[in-house]
Amino acid sequence: MTTVGILGAGQLAMMLSQAAATLGVKTLCLAASADECAGQVAPLCVVPTADPAAWESFVAQVDVLTLETENVILDLATFMSARKPLCPNLESLAVSQDRGYEKALFQSQGIRTAPYSLVDSLNELKQAAEDLGLPAILKTRRFGYDGKGQIRLSTVDDITRAWNELGKHPLILEGFMRFERELSLIGARSTQGDMAFYPLTENWHEHGILVKSEAPFLQAQLQAEAEDYMRSIMLGLDYVGVLAIEFFLVEGQLVANEMAPRVHNTGHWTIEGAKTSQFEQHIRAITGMPLGSTEVLGHSVMHNCIGMMPDKAEILSQPHAYYHDYGKAPRPGRKLGHITVVTPR
């Protein structure tokens, strides 16, 4: 039986493990602590700090490696990929870890991005703010998620304050996009090179955190364009696994925001809303199985449960609602679960 080693043990590792089990694939999740939520459904290998001896014993137990977050330390990923196949590969991970590399890759493939400037000093930040104009968004190049490590600059007075807060990290200043919509594309490429794409998903964020996704967003031209973009990124990186690209729709045009080398929160609706979930698709893609159908089963709306879970009985009494509780301790701003409502066709 194939065992997939997952670098991480949060809710994405949990849902990957559930999908793997139905395919007859085992998982082992590398966790920082024993209470991480994937432990509810899969064995954990608990390694709290960088410990090559523990990493060695983890990698010896698995056949193929994958990620549930791009924010894994590159030393760990490098160590692992020298021993077993890592899907997606190191290059894909390295690009997705850095908003600067990511934007350069998008542009090299002819994909529009927000105007941006890499910033290493307060003077460079002042210059960049003048060049791009305000408002603009200052972001850490690495290790951001759920809107963390980002400050919106509205006036020149914000510049020094933002620098004092984030200036110890490598930074990027992005022009503020006045978008009509936010869309994401989720697709997969298998070890054999087959590709499959889900329909575009429309997303809503509050304070930088995803609150709602709806799919399918049906617009044939945008779908084709987004798939072309993803195809060229996947081929360029020799990418294997599920990939997500987030877009802004600006004046009818797709502008790439960022990519995630993994299953993605905006694809959670596929669990009940598509013939093959993104989690199953990822396991199929990295273990050499044929990819599954991405056909939708209805119109899906996914709500994230942030900071608290809703009343379970109320959700369960709805005929087309699906309740997902990740079993995590409540904390303000923390993703604790999600609810998907699929209206059948």
Ligand X SMILES: Nc1ncnc2c1ncn2[C@@H]1O[C@H](COP(=O)(O)OP(=O)(O)OP(=O)(O)O)[C@@H](O)[C@H]1O
Binding track over 189-228 against Mg ion, x by CB under 5 A? ----------------------------------------
User: Judged by CB under 6 A, which stretch of 53-61, 72-80, 119-127, 173-181 contacts ligand X?
Assistant: 173-181
Residue 188: count of CB within 10 angstroms of its CB:
28
State in angstroms the smallest separation of the CB of 221 from ligand X: 22
Q: Quick check: 202 binds ligand X (CB under 6 A)?
A: no
> Amino acid identity of 199?
P
Lookup: tokens for 338: 């999600």
Distance in angstroms (rounded) separating the CA atoms of residues 226 and 68: 23
Q: Which is nearer to Mg ion, 246 or 280 (CB)?
A: 246
* Bridge partner residues of 29 (DSSP): 6, 44
Stretch of 27-35, 115-123, 163-171, 238-246 contacting Mg ion, by CB under 5 A: 238-246
Instruction: Write out the binding residues for ligand X, residues 258-297 only, by CB under 6 A.
Output: 258
Q: Measuring CA to CA, how many Å separate 62 from each of 2, 21, 26, 71, 159?
A: 8, 15, 9, 21, 48
CB 19 within 8 A of CB 12: no
> Which one among 114, 159, 185, 200 touches ligand X, defined by CB under 6 A?
114
Answer yes or no: are the C-beta atoms of 100 and 106 closer than 8 Å: no
Contact status: 177 vs ligand X (CB under 6 A): yes
For tokens 């990740």, name the residue. Answer: 326
Q: Of the candidates 257, 276, 287, 304, which one interacts with ligand X according to CB under 6 A?
A: 257
CB of 210 to ligand X, least distance (A): 6
Q: Which does 137 bind (CB under 5 to 8 A by kind): ligand X, Mg ion, none?
A: ligand X
Phi-psi region of 91 (alpha: psi -120 to 50; beta: other; left: phi over 0): alpha
Q: Which residues bind ligand X (CB under 6 A)?
A: 114, 137, 144-148, 174, 176-177, 182, 205, 208, 210, 246, 257-258
